[in-house]
Structure 1
Amino acid sequence: MLRLRLLTWDVKDTLLRLRRPVAESYAAAARAHGVRARPEALGRAFREAYGAQSRRYPNYGSGRGLSSRQWWVEVVKQTFRLAGVHEDGILTLMAEELYCDFCSARNWEVLPGAGETLSRCRRRGFRMGVVSNFDKRLENILSQCNLRHHFEFVLTSEAAGFAKPDARIFEAALRLGGVPPEQAAHVGDDYTRDYRAARAAGMHGFLLRAAGQGEEPAVPPEHVLPTLSHLLALIEKG
C-alpha cells in the first residue's frame, strides 16, 4: 500500500465537465441579444481566440498586468469578432455576462463517481487539495457544485503564478499540504500537465483515462484510472 497523506486533484474533465460545448453557450448568449452566430463558426473562432490569447498572455495574463476577468472578456469579444459580430456595445455586454455565467453550476456538472470518490478518500483520512490551471472563479464553481468542502485548499494557476506542468505549482501545493512529495499523489486526466508533471515534482500520479482513449507512453497500468472509483483500490495495491 502506498504511504500517502495528501491527494491533489485536477478539476476540468477530472471532477467537473462543461454541461454543453462552449460554442453552444456563446450562441445562446448571442440569441438572447438578438445576434445570430452559428455554433460551428463560434467553436472555430473560440479555439483561435483562446490560443492566441494564451500565447500572448499565458496563465490568464498573470504577471502581465491583466486580471483574469479582463483576459476572458477579451477572449469572448475576439471570438465573436472572428465569427462576424462587431457591435462593440453588445460584445462587451455578452462578454461580461458569459464570464459570470461560467462561474456557476448552470454551466458545470460533476462527473460520475467524483463526489462519492472524494467522500471515500476523506473518510480514509487523506488530506486533499486542488491543483488546477484555472482562474479565481474556481472556488465559487466548486462551492456551487457542492465539492469545495472536500478540499483543504484550492490552488489555481492564477493564484500560484505558475501553470501546470511547471513543477512550482506542485511544490506550492506540497507546502500548503505540509507533506513531502513522496507522501502525495496527484489525480488528473492530462498526461503531460497532470501525470508526468506531478511525477517530475517527486509525487505519485494517477491518470484518469476512459476506455478507448489514446495510449500514452510510459504509464504503468497501476497508475491508470478507467474511472475515479478505481482510485482507492489502486492506492491500496500500490
Structure 2
Amino acid sequence: MLAYNLIRQEMRLMAEELEIPPQRLSFQWLAIAIAGALAEARRRKSPVIAKTLTGHWATYFPSTSVAMPGAEKLLKELALEGIALGVISNGAEHSRRETIDALPFGSEIKVMISSEACGYSKPSSEIFHAGADAFGYTPEQCVFVGDHPQNDYQGARASGMQAVWLEGFHDWPSDLAHATHSIRSLNELLPLLKQNSP
C-alpha cells in the first residue's frame, strides 16, 4: 500500500505542477511518477518498497495501456485494406499479450512476437524474420513501423524489411543516414504505404 501511495503522491504533485487533472497525465508522466516513487523508496533505504513498486508496474502496466492517437482508426483501415498486422516487441510475452488485449484494436493484431518468446531482441534480424515467418511472408514483403532508430528502423532494414520511422519518441543518431521513410503521426502511414506500393 505504501508503494501505491508513493506513486499517487508523485502523480498528484506532477498534475499540480502542470495544472491539469491527474487522470489527464500520459503514460510518460506515469513512468516519471513511478521513477520518482522508486527514488523516494531508495532515499528511505527501503528495497522492499522498490521491489513492490516494480512488481506493481509489471502486474498493472499492461492493463492500463492507452492507444496512441489515431492508432485504432489506422489499424482498422489497414485491416480493411487487407494488410496483415502484427507486433514485434522487446519484452515479456505475458505483458505484451496483455497490453494488446487491453487495447480497443487488439483483435486486429494477428501475430505478436516478443523477445522473450523468440529468444532474440530487436535489432537482431532473427526477431524480424520470426515475425515475417509467422505470416508466411518473406522479410522483403513486410513493412515495419517503429519509433526507435536502431532497434526498430535499422533492425528491420537489416533484416530485409522495408521500414518506417515514427518520429517524436527517440532522437535520430547523428552517425546514421536519415530514414528513407518517416512519419510524424500515425495518420500519415496509410498514404505513405499507398504512395510507395508497387
1:94 aligned to which of 31, 53, 73: 53
Q: Is the 8 A contact 1:167 1:201 kept in 2?
A: yes
Give 2:31's aligned amino acid. V
2:33 aligned to which of 3, 24, 27: 24
- Find the counterpart in structure 2 of residue 165 from structure 1: 123
- Find the counterpart in structure 2 of residue 43 from structure 1: none
Q: Does 1:178 align with 2:136?
A: yes
SS for the counterpart of 1:126 is: coil
Give 1:113's aligned amino acid. G
- Find the counterpart in structure 1 of residue 13 from structure 2: none
Bigger relative contact order, structure 1 or 2 (CA pairs below 8 A, ≥6 apart): 1
Q: Is the 8 A contact 1:139 1:148 kept in 2?
A: no
* Residue 91 to residue 235, structure 1, CA distance change in 2 (3 Å): closer
1:113 aligned to which of 62, 70, 82: 70
SS for the counterpart of 2:163 is: strand
The alpha-carbon deviation at position 97 of structure 1 amounts to 2.4
Q: Is the 8 A contact 1:188 1:207 kept in 2?
A: yes
Q: TM-score, normalised by structure 2?
A: 0.75
- Comparing both structures, which one devotes a greater share of its residues to helix? 2
Distance (Å, rounded) in 2 between the aligned partners of 1:85 and 1:142: 36
Distance (Å, rounded) in 2 between the aligned partners of 1:227 and 1:22: 22
Structure 2: segments with no counterpart, 5+ residues: 1-25
The alpha-carbon deviation at position 92 of structure 1 amounts to 4.0
Distance (Å, rounded) in 2 between the aligned partners of 1:158 and 1:164: 11
* CA RMSD between the two structures: 2.4
Distance (Å, rounded) in 2 between the aligned partners of 1:19 and 1:202: 32
The alpha-carbon deviation at position 230 of structure 1 amounts to 1.0
Residue identity over aligned pairs, in percent, reads 25
Distance (Å, rounded) in 2 between the aligned partners of 1:209 and 1:91: 33
Q: Does 1:219 align with 2:176?
A: no
Q: TM-score, normalised by structure 1?
A: 0.63
The alpha-carbon deviation at position 167 of structure 1 amounts to 0.4
The alpha-carbon deviation at position 95 of structure 1 amounts to 3.5
Distance (Å, rounded) in 1 between the aligned partners of 2:139 and 2:50: 46
- Find the counterpart in structure 1 of residue 192 from structure 2: 234
- Find the counterpart in structure 1 of residue 109 from structure 2: 151
